[in-house]
Amino acid sequence: MKEGKTILITGGCGYIGSHTAIDLLQKGFEVISIDNFSRSRQFIPERIKKITGKDFINYRLDCCDMPKLRSVISGHPGIIGIIHFAAFKSVGESVRIPLIYYDNNLNSTINLLRIADEFNIPHFVFSSSCSVYGNANELPVREDTSISTPESPYAWTKLISEQMIKEHAVNSNINFIILRYFNPVGAHESATIGEIPFADPENLVPNITQTAIGKKDKFVVYGNDYPTRDGSCIRDYVHVMDIAEAHTLALQYLIEKTNTSNFEIFNLGSGEGYSVLELIHAFEKISGVKLNYEIGERRTGDVISVYADNKKAYQILHWNLKRNIDEMMRSAWDWEKQLKKEIIT
């Protein structure tokens, strides 16, 4: 392992974790991954090696299992940073079975905080979500925007985790960064890895691409009577590789000791909101495929509209978006077509 360049990623074989591993490896870091494959695929480590030409180690274990977690970390004394992705993330599932979300998402975070203290790992980046803002009273939302009541148990787990980290930071020597993602979409440009939903997808873009490819006969747009420009919910979509790069920049910011506090929050969004119907039309333009969808009832847990004020990440982390909505849709469609060739379900 490279001295001072080893990063632990939890959930490193998941959607955002795997793309972040690629960015880190390509920027000269070594990566150790922990993933239990409950929500990811076992072929991902080999795909990461293929894309980067670099070694990639994944340990198959659950971050809620403290003895096994401690055993892995003790074998890698050179770790200087943790990026904690590992979490259940389905809004709908969290509404149906909230206890597994509180159990998994909170306990894994507590364990990682204890591990960072125990092994003197100085830098910690936490994967949070714009869902913590709830139905915000102002748009775009800033990092200091007042938090409304979260709309789902998933969102609550992210907000509670943020609060735990904030309180822990007061008496800790660790540097913490919270990254609040808006809506990561798309896939790596090679179409070698991308988002693979488990069961019926709840996120919009996999619903779109699975319908276009024929895996689904149709999909449902949940509500067209919201107080928005076309009645459908508005979200802020960001290419997953742009999200991935922000993690590398956050670590570099901490490593270079340019932070002024040991606890900081950054929004990761494009700063522009697209409605569900606008995203559908963008995909139809890129793919040439007419989508079969119907309008359904509103879905519990969905906020009406949320998009980011991202000036802080731009100014402090020097994060710049490199991919637009067309590239998001094109890469997602290329990945879906690749999945069909490989018959991965």
154 is annotated as an active-site residue? yes
| Type of residue numbered 110 | I
Annotated catalytic residue within 15, 59, 154, 274: 154
Spatial separation of the C-alpha atoms in residues 2 and 312, rounded to whole Å: 31
* Strand-strand pairing, 263-268 and 219-222: unpaired
Spatial separation of the C-alpha atoms in residues 176 and 164, rounded to whole Å: 11
Dihedral of CA 91/94/95/96: which sign?
positive
Spatial separation of the C-alpha atoms in residues 87 and 64, rounded to whole Å: 10
Q: Which residues pair with 6 in a beta bridge?
A: 30, 79
What secondary structure does DSSP assign to 249-311, as a single string? Answer: HHHHHHHTT--SSSEEEEEES-S--EEHHHHHHHHHHHH-----EEEE---TT--SB--B--H
Looking at the annotation, which residues are catalytic? 154
